[in-house]
Each structure stands twice: as structure tokens, then as C-alpha cells.
Structure 1
Amino acid sequence: MRWFITCLLAVALSGARADEKPPSERLDPPTVCGDFLKAEGLQRADVKFVACKPGEFGGIDNLSAEYRIQGKDVISVENWLVKLAHVRRLKRACCIWETSRGNFKGRDGSEYEVSMAAETTIRSRRDLPKVPFFHLTVTHYLRSP
């Protein structure tokens, strides 16, 4: 009987360990500003990191990384964001072209909010490559509401 209980316990413990990630793959959620896309292995040559700053929205502290995309690259980056963060494609509203807000889960399990926009007088989608640059914001909230 003791042998049977020992076997059951060994099987249960080995099953619990099988679901755990090895320590080398585990990341801690960001607690300081930085290039979140690079940290998550999502860096792209056409998305240039500009700066990161702490902020607050609705009483919740956050870290917002800002990126710049040249107009010539915006369609490629838009397609990537649609797949990565499930944003809706760029739409014109008044004098701004903007995506919806989307989100993705990082390797550490943290949620990141993403949006892209540019202020411009250009009205036609086919002329978006003429916009000098777009702003991409990746925000990580430091706690859940």
C-alpha cells in the first residue's frame, strides 16, 4: 500500500512540473520603462524605439513606450499589429489616422495595450505612405483595476 501511495504522489508531482516553464524562459513583468517590443522579442527594423515614460490613466500607473514608424512602412506595420494585437485597421477621424486599441500578452504573461496614429491632412488611405511618420504606443499597466 505504501508503494502505491508513493507512486501516486510521484506521478502527481511530475505532472505538476511538466506544466511549468523552465526558469530560463520565465520573465518578470516590466516594472521600469524600456523598449517593450525588444524585451518581448518583437523588435522590428521598421519600428524605431523613441522613449518610455511612466504615466497614469484612470488612477492606474502605467509605463508607455513610444515608437516611430515611417509612412512608407505603415501598411506593413499595420498588418503586423492586426495579427499581433488584433487592432482594427487605420481609419481616418477628422485630422488623424488611427487604429483601435488592441492588446497582446507578453512572454511573462503581462498584458500590453497597443495603438498607432498620425496627425495629417491626408484623406486617402492609398496616400498613407506620404505621411512622414506614425506614432506607435505600447502601454503596460502596473496593476489591474
Structure 2
Amino acid sequence: MGIVADRTLVALPGRRWHVIRAFGALMGRQDAYDCDVSGVARSFILNSLACLLLLLSSTTTHAAGFALSCIYIGHPPGLELLGPRKQCARQIDGQVEIAPDMFKRLTYGKYRLGQIMVLNDHAAWRYVKKTGQMLAVITFDNGADYFSEGLTRGIIGGKIAYFDADFRQVLGPFDDGTPFRNGRAAVCLGCDRATSGNDGPRAGRWGFIDRTGKQVIPIDRTPEQIASMPWPDETPRCGDFLGRYGMKPGHLEFTGCEEGKDAQLRALIAHYRVKGADAASVETLLRRDTGMNALRYLCCGWQVVPGKDAATGDGTLPIEADSKVSMGSGETVVHDRKSWPQIPWFTVNVVVDIETP
């Protein structure tokens, strides 16, 4: 029996030896090499050594192809800025590719995205999926631009556009823009090239937009005028809150909204439902986007429960008004998650207070 990285190598009478991915996996290889070695044990040893030398030499060549260095956000608990790390990436036909061994070094945060900056001529922070897909974003606070109300500011040809966590372009491009806050963002036309979110407003025409791209305040103001204005916060109004803030999962159906009471305070309450077969995926996205706790079966149904030392397990919306996002099944005898498809409907409620104590 020989030693291999990811498969036991066994000699069978009348068969040839196969060394498959022998040491490539140990060296971070993604491709495979097959080395056929025949004969008695002595010939096997000699030929195996020759085969391993071939693997090691090709692995070295492969690693050398990633000539660029990177800095990146490393593993918890520190979430530290690490690097520069050599042989981290390469650029082919203008496209950046990350070395395979880097994916296990990255910290994957709230949206399951890593953060890395490749130190090439166009150094920019990038969000990285485990699939290898990347999105170049502006630098903010010495790292990748934060997601604000589910959107980050990506770079397109020197301009910025707003992207969601799936790297879909939602709004833009603009010459510059701020993060979204309470459903509004300040954007600029005619500004200098945007590469960093750490600087003040650039010269150009500024205004405010909402999540649909509608100009709440026309884009015709100077930076000084914009800076002196109060932020045009969105006044809560009844409707599809999750859809309004880009946080509505695909299988979730909005069924209505009305004014009601939340702990004796006036509140707007939006209602949603999802089939039991799709409830787990909706729960996952609401936990990611709103901070809602996982559902647990208590007494007679599935509901959100507080975590340890927490007053509530509900999620929240990215707005200044007090809000709650909760999910439940109603009364049911189904107490196993795997049997959720047997439950006809789960409900989701979003409560936004319009009155303060």
C-alpha cells in the first residue's frame, strides 16, 4: 500500500498502480494528475519517485503562476487585516483570479463573503464568494465598503453602482454616492472618479435618491448645499417593508399591511407568508439580513425565541424607527425541521413603530 493525499492506493493482482491526485491536493492543487506505474515493487518505488517529482515540479510551476500579493481579512476571533501574502492571485486578460489555497484563509461574514485586496496596478478591495466570484468595491474605513441596508458600492469603470449581496447591480452607476440610510442615499453626477468612501463630497451635482432610484431631492445641488441639509429620512408608511429595503426572500409572499398596536404604541404591521417547503430558505435569509434568531418548536408550534441573555429573538429593519421581524408556523404537531414541507404555511410579520413612548 502506498501513501496518497486523498485516496488509498491499493495493488490488485494483474492491475496497474494508479496514483491519483497524489500530492497535488496537499499543495493546494485543483487539477489532477494520473501516473501509471507498472511492475514489481522495486520498479514501483523508482517510478513512483519519478512521478512524485513530476507532480512537485508542476505544482511549483502552478503556484508560481499566482505572482500577485494580497492583503485580506483573516479568521476570527480577531478578524484581522493580514498580509501582504505572496503568490495569492494572478491577472489574466484583465480578470483577477484568487489562488485556491486563499479561500480557506478568508473570513466569511454576514453575507458569506470574504474580503481581499489584490496588490496590482488597480488595487481595490473585493468581496469574494467561495465559488470564486468577486466584486470590486470602493475602499471604506481601510477595508471593503460596508453593506448598508443590504447594498454596497461597487466600482464600474471609475464610477460607483449599488450592488446586493448576490453581486446584482441594483442602482447606478453614478460618479459618487453615499451608503443608504433610512432608504435614502446622496449621489453625484459630474464628480471626480470615485475610488474611496473616506473623503468628503466631491465637486459636482448632488441629490438624494430612494431604493427605486427616484430622485427624492433633485440632483442639482452643490456639495455645500447637500452637506448643510438634514438627511431626508423616509417617513414610515404601510407596505412591503422587506421588499422596500431589498430584504425580501424570493419565496416570501406579501399579503398586506395595516396600522395596529405594538405594546400599546401605534405601529404599522406588514404580513407575509411562505409555504412550508420553502420556509427553511426564507428563515436563512431573514437570519442573515435582519439578525432574526432561528425558529424553535415550543409547546404547540415553531416560533422565534430569544437567545441567551437576550430580551428578544426578533430581527430588525435598517431604519431608525423601532422595528421587529418575526416568523412562525402557528399551531402544529410537526416538531421536526425535516417535516416542515408538511406545514401548509409559515407567516412572517414586520412591525414598525410610528409612535414613541
Fold in common (TM above 0.5): yes
Selected match of 2:234 from 10, 16, 28: 28
What is the distance in 1 between the residues matched to 2:315 and 2:292? 8
What is the distance in 1 between the residues matched to 2:295 and 2:267? 25
What is the distance in 2 between the residues matched to 1:81 and 1:48? 14
What is the distance in 1 between the residues matched to 2:290 and 2:322? 10
Query: Are residue 133 (structure 1) and residue 345 (structure 2) matched?
Result: yes
Q: What RMSD in Å do the two structures reach over aligned CA positions?
A: 2.3
Counting matched residue pairs gives 127
The structure-2 alpha-carbon separation of the partners of 1:41 and 1:88, relative to structure 1 and needing over 3 Å to count, comes to: closer
* Secondary structure of residue in 1 paired with 2:209: helix
Question: Hey, what does 1:41 align to over in structure 2?
Answer: 246
Q: Is the 8 A contact 2:290 2:325 kept in 1?
A: yes
Q: Is the 8 A contact 1:51 1:66 kept in 2?
A: yes
* Higher RCO by CA contacts (8 Å cutoff, separation 6 or greater): 1
Q: Deviations over 1:102-140 (max 9, x none)?
A: 23333x544431000012111212111221110000110
Q: Is the 8 A contact 1:71 1:129 kept in 2?
A: yes
* Secondary structure of residue in 2 paired with 1:53: strand
TM-score, with structure 2 as normaliser: 0.33
User: Where do 5+ consecutive residues of structure 2 fail to align?
Assistant: 1-198, 211-231, 306-312
Query: Structure 1 residue 28: deviation in Å?
Result: 0.8
Question: Hey, what does 2:260 align to over in structure 1?
Answer: 55
What is the distance in 2 between the residues matched to 1:88 and 1:109? 21
What is the one-letter code of the residue matched to 1:112?
Answer: S
Residues 128-137 or 34-43, more deviating: 34-43
1:1-145 map, 5 Å: 15=200, 22-25=207-210, 27-30=233-236, 32-100=237-305, 101-106=313-318, 108-118=319-329, 119-145=331-357
What is the distance in 2 between the residues matched to 1:85 and 1:64? 16
Q: Is the 8 A contact 1:103 1:111 kept in 2?
A: no
User: Where do 5+ consecutive residues of structure 1 fail to align?
Assistant: 1-13
- Mark the structure with the bigger radius of gyration: 2
Question: Hey, what does 1:8 align to over in structure 2?
Answer: none
TM-score, with structure 1 as normaliser: 0.76
What is the one-letter code of the residue matched to 1:136?
Answer: V
What is the distance in 2 between the residues matched to 1:45 and 1:140? 22
What is the distance in 2 between the residues matched to 1:126 and 1:134? 14
Q: Which has the higher helix share?
A: 1
Question: Hey, what does 1:10 align to over in structure 2?
Answer: none
Question: Hey, what does 1:9 align to over in structure 2?
Answer: none
Question: Quick one: percent identity of the two aligned structures?
Answer: 28
What is the one-letter code of the residue matched to 1:29?
Answer: T
Q: Deviations over 1:18-62 (max 9, x none)?
A: 8xx9511455131x3111112112233200000111101222100
* Secondary structure of residue in 2 paired with 1:103: coil
